[in-house]
Amino acid sequence: MHHFAYKGGELYAEKVSLERIAEAVGTPFYCYSTATIERHYKVLAQAFKGLDPLICYAVKANSNQAVLTTLARLGAGMDVVSEGEIRRALTAGVKPDKIIFAGVGKTRGEIAFALRHGVCQFNVESDQEIDFISEIATHLGARAKVALRINPDVDAKTHKKIATGKGEAKFGIPYKDAMRLYAKADRLAGIDVNGVHMHIGSQLTDLAPVEKAFTLMRQLVVRLRAEGHDIGHVDLGGGLGVPYKAGSEIPPHPDDYAQIVRKCFAGLDVKLMLEPGRLIVANAGILVSRVIAVKKGSERTFVVVDAAMNDLIRPTLYEAHHEIWPASEKRKGNNVLVDVVGPICETGDYLALGRKLPPLAAEDLIAVMSAGAYGAVQAGTYNSRPLVPEVLVRGDQFAVVRQRQTYDELIGLDRLAPWQTASQQPSPNPERAPPPAVKPPARKPEAASAGAGAGAATKRPSGGRR
Ligand SMILES: Cc1ncc(COP(=O)(O)O)c(C=O)c1O
C-alpha cells in the first residue's frame, strides 16, 4: 500500500501533484512519501508486537538522510555496510547501540571506525575477519560484540543477483564451519560473541526457504548454547518482498513472516533483530520523468524519456519490473505496446520493455513506480548525466532532500595531470597553443522554488535534461 494516487485526473504524492513538483525541480527526480515509509515501518513493528525486536533498517536500500531521519524518529536502528553508512546513520541521530555493522569486506579502517563509535554488533562474514576485528579491538582497547553470519545453503528462490544464502554465494560462513568458528571466536581477545546472523536474499516471495533457514538457525543456537556459548541475539536479516507488478501474486504479509518467526524461535529467549530495507521504502518512492520523444522503429515503438539506466539500474541489472503510470489520467485508454527507454547509448538502457501503456506524447510526465529501494542509491553519472534530485513529500508539503548535481560538481572533481597544464607544458612548437585547463561551463541561474516548504530548487540547467 502506498500514497501515490490520482486525484481529479492528476497523479499525486500524498497531497502534492507531481506536475507541481516537476515545475519546481525539473525532471527526472525521485519522490518519496513520508506517510508510506512510516506506514510500512509501523506495519512491520505491529506484526512483531510482543517480541520486541530491534528493527534495523537496511541503509543500503535508500540512504537519503531525510529517509533515515524519518525512520530514526520512529525508533529504528540501522543495518550498515560501510563507514559511509555508519556516518549516515549517526548523522540521522541513530545511537551506536542500534547500529549493526554488516558487509562481506569490511576494511581495517572501517572496523576501527565502527569500534571507536561503539556499534552494537559486527556481523562477521569470514574466518579472517574475526582475526582482524580481534586485532584491532585489542589495539584500541575496545571490545567487539559479534554475530557470525551463517550461510545455510538454502535457495531463497529469488533473482540470482540478490540471492545470498546458497553455498555458492560469497556471503557468510558455511553452516558446516559454524561450530568451529564460534569456538575460535570465543577464544579471541577483544571479542564478545553474542549472536547468530543470517540473510538468505532479497525480494523473498516464498516463505518456505525462510522457514527452512530459520529452523537451521534455531538448531544452531541450541547447539551453540549446549557448547557453552552465550548466544543472546538472533539477527534474521531482511529480504521480505514487495509487490512490484500489478495483478501478480502479492508477497507474504509481514504478519505471515512474523508468524514463522514466532514458530521457529518460540521459547528460545533471544533478542531478535530485523534488517528490512526494500519492505520499508520500495513502494514509498517513484522516479518521475518526462517524455522527450516518441519514436517508431521498424519493429517497436519507443517512448524516449529523460530518465535512464544511470538513474534507475534495476530493470537492466535485475530484469526488474516497474509499473509505469502517466501523471495525467487524460492519457488513459487505448493502450499501445511500447518500450520505455532512456537517452543513454546502450541498448540495455530501458525502464520497461514491451509494455502496454496509454498513448504518450512528448512532454508528458510519467512515474516509474516502486523505485524507492535500490533506486537512487545505485544511480551513477554514465554519459555525464548529473545525479537527479530526491524530493520528500509529507502531506501537502514537499522538499528537495537531495539537490540535483550541477555540471560544475560533475566535472569539477576531475583534474588535469601536471604535465597537461599550461605552466608544465614544454612548447616544442611555439605556433601551437597548450591545451586549456579544464574549466566547467558557467552555471545558468536556477529557478526559484515554487513548492510549499520546498528547499532550494534544483531545476536542471537549460541545455541538460529537463
Ligand atoms: C545482510 C543484509 N541485510 C539486509 C538486507 C536488506 O534486504 P531487503 O532490502 O531485501 O530487506 C540486505 C540486502 O541485500 C542484506 O544483504
Residue 385 belongs to a domain:
yes
Final residue before a domain boundary, out of 282, 311, 332: 282
pLDDT confidence bin for 22, thresholds 50/70/90 = very high
CB-based contact 203:162 (threshold 8 Å): yes
Residues with CB under 6 A from ligand 1: 58, 61, 79, 102, 164, 199, 202, 237-239, 275-279, 373
Q: What is the pLDDT of residues 88-115, one digit of tens each?
A: 999 999 999 999 999 999 999 999 999 9
Q: Which of 60, 240, 257, 378 is the pocket-test mutation for ligand 1 (most atoms within 8 Å of CB)? A: 60
Residue 164 belongs to a domain:
yes
Q: Is the pLDDT of residue 446 over 70?
A: no
Does the active-site annotation cover 345? yes
Domain span at 346? 1-33+283-418+434-466
Q: Is the pLDDT of residue 139 over 60?
A: yes
Q: Is the pLDDT of residue 449 over 80?
A: no
Q: Is the pLDDT of residue 427 over 70?
A: no
Q: Is the pLDDT of residue 457 over 60?
A: no
Q: How far, in Å, are 41, 150, 201, 205, 241 from residue 253 at the CA level?
A: 13, 25, 17, 10, 9
Percent of the chain whose predicted confidence (pLDDT) is above 70: 90
Domain count, the chain: 2
Q: What is the pLDDT of residues 379-398, one digit of tens each?
A: 999 999 999 999 999 999 99
Q: Is the pLDDT of residue 71 over 80?
A: yes
Using a 10 angstrom Cβ sphere, with 0-12 exposed, 13-18 middle and 19 or more buried, the burial of residue 228 is: exposed
Percent of the chain whose predicted confidence (pLDDT) is above 90: 81
Same domain, 110 and 18: no
Same domain, 256 and 109: yes
pLDDT of residue 452: 41
Overall average pLDDT of the 281-293 stretch = 98
Instruction: Give the angle subtended at the CA of 442 by the CAs of 436 and 447, to the nearest 5°.
Output: 165
Same domain, 327 and 202: no
